[in-house]
Amino acid sequence: MVFTCDKQQLQDALTLVGRVVSSRTTLSILECVLLIAKEDEGIILCASDLEVSIETKAIPAEVEVAGSIALDAKLFTDIIRKLSGDFVTVEVDDSQTALCKSGRSRLKIVGQPPDEFPLIEMDKIDEHGAVNNRYSLKSVVLRDMIKQTVFSISPDQSKLVLTGELLEIKENALRMIAVDMFRISYRAEKLEGDVLECKAVVPGKAMNELARILPAGDEDEVSFFFTPKWAVFETGSFIMVSRLLEGDFVRYDQIFNEDFSTSVVVNRLQLLSAFERAVLVAVDSRMPPTQLDINDDDLLIKAHNERGQVNDGIPCETDGKDLSIHFNPRYFIEALRAIEDEKVVIKFNTQLSPCTIRGADSEIDCKYLIVPLRPPA
Amino acid sequence: MVFTCDKQQLQDALTLVGRVVSSRTTLSILECVLLIAKEDEGIILCASDLEVSIETKAIPAEVEVAGSIALDAKLFTDIIRKLSGDFVTVEVDDSQTALCKSGRSRLKIVGQPPDEFPLIEMDKIDEHGAVNNRYSLKSVVLRDMIKQTVFSISPDQSKLVLTGELLEIKENALRMIAVDMFRISYRAEKLEGDVLECKAVVPGKAMNELARILPAGDEDEVSFFFTPKWAVFETGSFIMVSRLLEGDFVRYDQIFNEDFSTSVVVNRLQLLSAFERAVLVAVDSRMPPTQLDINDDDLLIKAHNERGQVNDGIPCETDGKDLSIHFNPRYFIEALRAIEDEKVVIKFNTQLSPCTIRGADSEIDCKYLIVPLRPPA
């Protein structure tokens, strides 16, 4: 294998796939990036951690001899970054040694045979030709949908399906839902045209990686589809494939409730910073139970523990009864950071039933449900 | 103690002293910042790790009741940063509880008695009135002098005096010297007026902290003096006091040698990036011995180990004999990063004797000595 390409393009592609590369594993091939040089096409880079794989679209290159090799991703990336020239030539010999040349610099490193690399082949994913529907969204929209929900996935590995996000296509919209024991995050977005209904649970790690690498240009689109075992996301620069999680997801739609006995409209950033102050007295990661007292048009936020005591007050518009209720402040902070509106509407029922939060103005279909803490005896 | 002050000024002062505060110690008072409120003066903040102390100049404040308290530095800094108003009022009661108020926010935390704080009192430092000479430099100059030398202090705790930097005042100049087993960094700067000769060894940690907090304005000055046990650095915003290290420092001035059998002039950034590429094949922190081959007006840089092989070539202007010599590339990298000139002059004698490096053009009196590695058998 021998090719010459633009150094910056190769470096950008390495950065793109690099996040999926494992850093310390017992399988050293997983610390590698797979380079494939195809005549008349260019260079393709692949990385995989067995759950998630990323494959770049072809980078333009002058391919003298086609071939492939697996190279230590971190070392190869550092080498490309540190080369001084604008172009780099990579020559791989039969002993899997790669020589990287640029200007008068020569760096030689030993690679691994490409056939050891756990490449997920696209034609295996859709082997029965089952995929008859692809969906499409603006790349930045999908990225925001992930960021506005993924923080609510469950950390509990004993209920694996909840460590992922539900992607549900229903009523011509994509709904994304993340759930743990104490909260639900929900975000939906209309899809163009008539789309088949479908659902899949994608691991949180894959969703996080996807949000990081989705292109941010106004014109960038992402298309995606699901098979019974895989989710596939494709942009102009890469294809990401993630294994799906199996199991029954929570029936979230029956839990959100528009009834309320108390509803408040409050400035989002003021409420967020009050909760952020409550968290200051957290001891390690133990959050102080935070009390919300709604008295007419005034919202009091209180927390105390062995470390200290916090009191805050914010004006609000209240509809309904006064209420005193306790929450884990972290759940409120994450939801309030995800919403973009100036004001939020929070709907409560009893001291023991979940509240819902959503933006007061925006058209974005985004809502959060949080289960309260039992009031201290 | 009761005072009101500008939130941003208090936050800046906390950031200034914060670096000296220990984060996890067995002595919880060392995790505190000491606040002293003086009527007609304002607020003074102090932090200490027993070796280094920083005391701010008074921050303007409306002091209703004078007094002092020691507060957990991290918690208090986070509280001040998160308060929403522009001003903050701090009220301390007899039980050492501090109430921080801003707008409608109230945060209450428990402090510690101020007399437990290991305050280094300035009048104790100069108790015999021994200090009869203060020196003065531009703040940015002292900062650069530290940065250009401090990386060479010895990591070896068994020879404690070499874990510090020698500050020597001699021939109307300040010389700063850092030495470990394999190298010496030297930087000198003229002082104004007639100054008394003097020398002191300041711990590397104090020097590093000082370089970080020295004000960077063109007009900022730093004045400093030494007692037999202490170094004191004073700027418009703080006084830093550091304990000195005891012991005999290396007689560095006899080691630098202007004789050479080979001298090269070479582009600094080209040589730096060649060494940086050699370091890419380092295994953990084990650096590959890096060979310099000087052949007429060409400098070859080579390194190899089990991880890979690096070859580079740079044009140079050579005066003297051809030479082949090995170095730890890290020492060259640090010296070449510290120099500011476009080109450097490197003078060699034999394969086994140290080389010296200095800028080819600049007026800055800055030089480095590096001991070579024994060539592989």
Q: Decide if B307 and A104 are in contact by the 8 Å CB cutoff.
A: no
- In this prediction, residue B366 carries a pLDDT of 96
Residues 6+ apart with CB under 8 A from B302: B278, B290, B291, B293, B310, B311, B312
| Residue-level pLDDT at B127 | 61
Q: Cα(first)–Cα(last) distance of chain B, in Å?
A: 72
Region A11-35 average pLDDT: 91
Sort out which chain B residues have CB atoms less than 8 A from A270's CB and list them. Answer: 84
Per-residue pLDDT tens digits for B102-157: 999 999 999 999 999 998 877 677 766 566 688 999 999 999 999 999 999 999 99
**Coil, helix or strand at residue A239:** strand
Could you give the ipTM of this predicted complex? 0.90
Q: Considering CB atoms only, which of A75, A109, A310 is closest to B107?
A: A310
Q: Residues in chain B whose beta carbon is closer than 8 A to a beta carbon of chain A?
A: 75, 78-79, 82-84, 104-110, 270, 273-274, 276-277, 280-281, 307-314
Inform me whether the pLDDT recorded for A377 exceeds 90: no
Q: Which of B77, B74, B73, B105 is nearest to B89 (CA)?
A: B105
Contact A311 B105 (CB under 8 A): yes
Compare CB distances from B78 to A79, A107, A280 and report the shortest one's residue: A280
B172's tokens: 């109307």
Q: Flag if B105 and A276 touch (Cβ within 8 Å).
A: no
The percentage of residues in chain A with a pLDDT greater than 90, rounded to a whole number, is 86
| Amino acid making up residue A269 | L
> Nearest CB to B109: which of A78, A84, A308?
A308
CB atoms within 10 A of CB A26: 6
- Looking at residue A73, its pLDDT comes to 96
Report CA dihedral (B131, B133, B139, B141) to the nearest 10 degrees: -130
Which helix (H) or strand (E) element contains residue A212? helix A204-213
Minimum-distance CB partner of A78 among B83, B107, B280: B280
Tally C-beta pairs within 8 A across A and B: 84
Sign of CA dihedral B296, B299, B305, B309: negative
Q: What pLDDT sits at residue B131?
A: 67
* pLDDT score for A127: 61
Beta strands in B235-362 (DSSP E): 238-243, 262-267, 290-295, 298-305, 308-315, 317-320, 323-327, 343-348, 355-359
Q: Are residues A99 and A90 in contact, defined by beta-carbon separation less than 8 angstroms? A: yes
Pairwise CB contact (< 8 Å): A106 & B78: no
Q: How confident is the model at residue B22 (pLDDT cuts 50, 70, 90)?
A: confident
Query: Rounded CA gap, A270 and A288, in Å?
Result: 19
Which pLDDT score, from 0 to 100, does residue B223 have? 94
* A107 contacts on B by Cβ (under 8 Å): 277, 280-281, 308-311
A311 vs B79, B106, B280: nearest CB: B106
Alpha carbons within 13 angstroms on the beta-carbon side of residue B217 total 8
Smallest Cβ–Cβ distance between B273 and the set A75, A84, A308 belongs to A84
| Ramachandran area for residue B152 (φ above 0: left; ψ -120 to 50: alpha; else beta) | alpha
B104 closest CB neighbour out of A82, A109, A313: A313
The SS3 assignment for B61 reads strand
Q: Extract the tokens encoding B289.
A: 């011995």
The neighbour count for residue B230, using CB atoms within 10 Å, is 20
Query: Which burial class, exposed, middle or buried, applies to B265 when counting CB atoms under 10 A from its CB (0-12, 13-18, 19+)?
Result: middle
* Residues of chain A contacting B311 with CB distance shorter than 8 Å: 105-107
Which whole number is the average pLDDT over B84-104?
96
Contacts of B302 in chain A (CB under 8 A): none
Q: Which residues pair with B4 in a beta bridge?
A: B62, B89
Query: Residue B247: CA atoms inside 13 Å, Cβ hemisphere, count?
Result: 14
CA distance A88 to chain B (A): 14
All residues of chain A having their beta carbon less than 8 Å from the beta carbon of residue B110 are 307-308
Chain B hits for A105, CB-CB cut-off 8 Å, are 274, 277, 310-312
By the 8 A CB rule, do B316 and B292 touch? no
Residue B362 has a pLDDT of 84
Are the beta carbons of A270 and B84 separated by less than 8 Å? yes
Q: Does residue A161 contact residue A246 with C-beta atoms inside 8 Å?
A: yes
Average pLDDT of B183-202?
93
pLDDT of B285? 85
pLDDT at position A157 = 92
CB atoms B280 and A310 under 8 Å: no
B8 vs A257, residue with greater confidence: B8
- Residue B274: list chain A partners with CB under 8 A: 105
pLDDT value at position A310?
97
Judged by CB atoms closer than 8 Å, whether chains meet at A106 and B281 is answered as no
B330-374 pLDDT, tens digit per residue, is 999 999 999 999 999 999 999 999 999 999 998 899 999 999 999
A interface with B, Cβ–Cβ < 8 A, is: 75, 78-79, 82-84, 104-110, 270, 273-274, 276-277, 280-281, 307-314
Neighbours of B339 (CB within 10 A): 21
* Nearest C-alpha neighbor of B281 from the set B312, B238, B317, B249: B312
What pLDDT band is residue A135 in, cutting at 50, 70 and 90? very high
Residues 6+ apart with CB under 8 A from A38: A44, A58, A63, A66
A122, pLDDT greater than 80 = no
Q: A21-30, A96-105, A259-268: which has the minimum mean pLDDT?
A: A21-30
Please name the residue that has the structure tokens 């003086």. Answer: B38
Rounded mean pLDDT, B204-229 = 95
CB < 8 Å to A307, chain B:
75, 109-110
- Select from B82, B270, B307 the Cβ nearest to the Cβ of A273: B82
The pLDDT value recorded for residue B128 is 60
**Does the structure show a pLDDT above 70 at A129?**
no
pLDDT bin (cut points 50, 70, 90) of residue B262 is very high
B172 pLDDT more than 70: yes
Q: Do A109 and B276 touch (CB under 8 A)?
A: no
Mean pLDDT confidence for A147-167: 96
**Position A86 confidence tier, pLDDT thresholds 50, 70, 90:** very high
Q: How far is A110 from chain B (nearest CA, A)?
A: 7
Residue B199 has pLDDT above 90, yes or no: yes
Band of residue A121 on the pLDDT scale cut at 50, 70, 90: confident
At residue A130, the pLDDT reads 60
Q: Are A75 and B307 in contact (CB < 8 Å)?
A: yes
pLDDT at A23 over 80: no
Average pLDDT, chain B: 94
Q: Given B75, B274, B280, which is nearest A79 (Cβ)?
A: B280
Asked if residue A237 has pLDDT above 80, the reply is: yes
Greater model confidence, B64 or A192? B64
Whether residue A254 is predicted with pLDDT greater than 90 in this model: the reply is no
Residue A176's Cα: distance from chain center in Å?
Answer: 11
Confidence label for A124 from pLDDT (cuts 50, 70 and 90): confident
Interchain pair A307, B75: CB under 8 A: yes
Contact A312 B110 (CB under 8 A): no
Across the interface, whether the CB atoms of B273 and A311 are under 8 A apart is answered no
